[in-house]
Each structure stands twice: as C-alpha cells, then as structure tokens.
Amino acid sequence: MQRLYDFFRRHPTGVDTFWAVLLFGFNSLELVSSATAHSGLNTAVKLCLAVSLCVVVALRRKAPGKMLLLAVVAGTVQLACNIPPNLSDFSMLVIIYTVASGTQRWASRVALAGALIGPVLSVVRFGNGPTLRSIPEALFITGLFTVPFVLAWVLGDSVRTRRAYWAQLEEKAARLEKERETQSRIAVAAERARIARELHDVVAHNVSVMVVQADGAAYVLESAPEQAKQALETISDTGRQALAEMRRLLGVLRTGEQPEGGEYVPQPGVEQLADLIDQVRGAGLPVDFRVAGEPRPLPSSVELTAYRIVQEALTNTRKHGGPDVGATVRLSYQDAELDLLVEDDGRGAQHELYSGGGADGLGHGLIGMRERVGMVGGSLDAGPRPGGGFRISAVLPLKSGR
C-alpha cells in the first residue's frame, strides 16, 4: 500500500489524467443518452466543453493558473450557449480547490470570485420557469449552489496555510541545524586555539628553563659539582611540572577519563606567580616582583591570563634579553581592573617579533598574549622600552566586557 501511495506522489499528473478520463467517460455517456434531443451543433459544443473541463482536471497541478483561465472561458461559453450544468462542471470545484491550495495568490482570488459569482449567474441563466416562483426560493437555491464552491476554496486555502506552516517549520529546523553546526565548529576551533596557547606556554617556559639549567650544569660540572647538581634537580622538577601540565591539557581532550588521582590539576593563577618567579630566579634571571593594591579573589579567566602573560614575558626575556638582563613584574589591583607590567633592561626583541603581532616564524607568544587578553575583554601593549629592553603592559577588566 505504501508503494502505491509513493507511486501516486511521484506521478501526480498521471493520477489527475486518470480521473479526467473517467470523468470524460461518464460525461460521454450522458451526451450519448441525450443526443437525440438536441441538435448536432449543441452536442458538439457540449463535447468541446467536456474535453476542455477534463483537460482542466488533468493539468490542474502542472499549470493551475492556465487551467483556471480555461475553466473560466469554458464556464462563460456554457452560459452564453445556454448549456445546463452537467457532470463535467465538477472540474470547477476541483480547479477552485487546486488554485486556493497553491502559491499563486491572484489565481486564488479569481477562484474565490468565481465561487461567489458563478452560482448566481447559473441560477439566473438556467432558473427561469416554475422552479423559481419566489425570491426566497431563488436565494435558497443560489446559496445551495454556492456553498460547495466556497467550501472547496476554504479547504484549499487551509491546505495552503498548513503547507506554508510546515515549510516554515522545516526551514527553521534546517536553519537551526546549520547554526548549531556552525556554533560547534566555532567552539571546536576556539578550544583548539586555547589548548594550543596552553601548550605553547607550558612548553616554551618549562623547556627554556630546562635548557638554561642544562647549559649551566654543563658549564660548571667539573668546577662546581654542587651547582651542577642543583641545576639538574631544577631540570628534574621543571620537567615533572611540565609533564603534569601536559597531562592536564591532554586530559581535557579525553572524554570520560580522569588522570591518576581522580581530578584534574587546577589552573594556575596569581597566587602561583611567586612560585613561578622563584623558579625563574633559580634559572639565573633576576626578577623584581611587587604587588600593589589589596589582593582579592579574581575571576579564574583573569588569573590564568595574568599568570600566562608573566610566564611568556619572562620566557621571552630569557630568550631575547641577552646576558646580564634583569626583569621587573608589577601587579596592581584596581577597583575594576587588574594592571600588569612586565619589563626588562636587556637588549630587547627583534622588530619582527612584535611588529606583526608576535608571529616571528619561531613562535606565537605575543599572538597568544593578545588572544588571551582579548578573551577577557582587556588590552595589551607590547614593544621596546625607552632606554633599552622590552615592555609588556596589560589591563585585565575584572568584569568581562564581552
């Protein structure tokens, strides 16, 4: 049964043609039975009208507007030639329903006008004689003929409204699906960028510390074994810290899996800046760290951003500052923002490291800083310091502006 229904849906014109042929057959039987009572010319006109109205039924869904005009012409000829209503007039109901359920609004209005005017003209044209003895009777018969045509138009318009409603729902569902896919892609891209920034900060900082300590240990291995031992211990501690942070980041990528211990390591914040600076000092970089204002709890995103900026700035100082370089870190708590200043007195970074936003071909430290600051709605200024060295200044609002 479902296959038969699908076949009818795939071949609507064929189904309409079948009903048109069936209608023409019944109408032909009526013509044959009444052929002796009418002239040959009248029979030929009735046959032409029957063919025209059957064509209307056959092509109603393929060309509804044209078929409506053909039905109007056929009805006009029928009135002009004084041909009484017959079986082929059933196609009038069909075409009124079809155009009312379609998208051509002009055709629907014409069909409604025909549904209201056609029965009146038919009663006036064919209602002479003893059947209309009074005005109430004429009005009753006119209303009786009008109701089926108006109901056909109302039914077709209801179908059109329902189709438009379902089409709107489908369009909305498709749009929401596309928006959901777009949001998913944006979220995935943002998460990848965040993890890339985290990996860059972890690897750049910890590995640079390990390289500096390894070079120092190799230099004093024979002359100062104790210092070499201390450097190797620093390398070991730094490596363990880097591995712990790497495990935390990789754990974010795994679903339903937790690292050993049952919970992830917390994100670093401003409270861990003292440990970070002690680690940097142990690696041989003098750092002057000061805090201004009243320390208070901060949003986790602001704390992580501040920590990573200081970490990346001190890493760049070790990489590009040259020998005998010193750094200064200032953390200032304001009413509505956190001010961060990191500067050094070294030889400064090359121009291409900051002129293009930080993409120097070797790393993306400044780009990562700007992205982090932008995510919390803050601002970042990075560049050479007057008198030599490099300076990074960041303003992090305590309430995100986005």
Q: What is the pLDDT of residues 57-80, one digit of tens each?
A: 999 988 999 999 999 999 999 888
Look-up: residue for tokens 């189904």? 15
**Nearest CA-CA partner of 335 in 374, 293, 392:** 293
Q: Round the CA-based radius of gyration of the chain to a whole number and report it.
A: 44
3-class state of residue 32 by DSSP: helix
pLDDT band for 325, please (50, 70, 90 cuts).
confident
More confidently predicted of 263 and 232: 232
Q: Where are the beta strands (DSSP E) in 275-373?
A: 287-292, 327-333, 337-344
Mean pLDDT, the chain, rounded, equals 80
Residue 202 has a CB neighbour count (10 Å cut-off) of 20
Residue 245 clears pLDDT 90, i.e. is over it? no
How far does CA 18 lie from the centroid of its chain? 46
Residue 45 clears pLDDT 90, i.e. is over it? no
Angstrom distance (rounded) from CA 374 to CA 396: 9
Q: Which two tokens stand for residue 88?
A: 């082929």
Q: Which two tokens stand for residue 306?
A: 């501040």
Look-up: residue for tokens 């109701």? 147
Query: Taking the model in full, what pTM does it have?
Result: 0.49
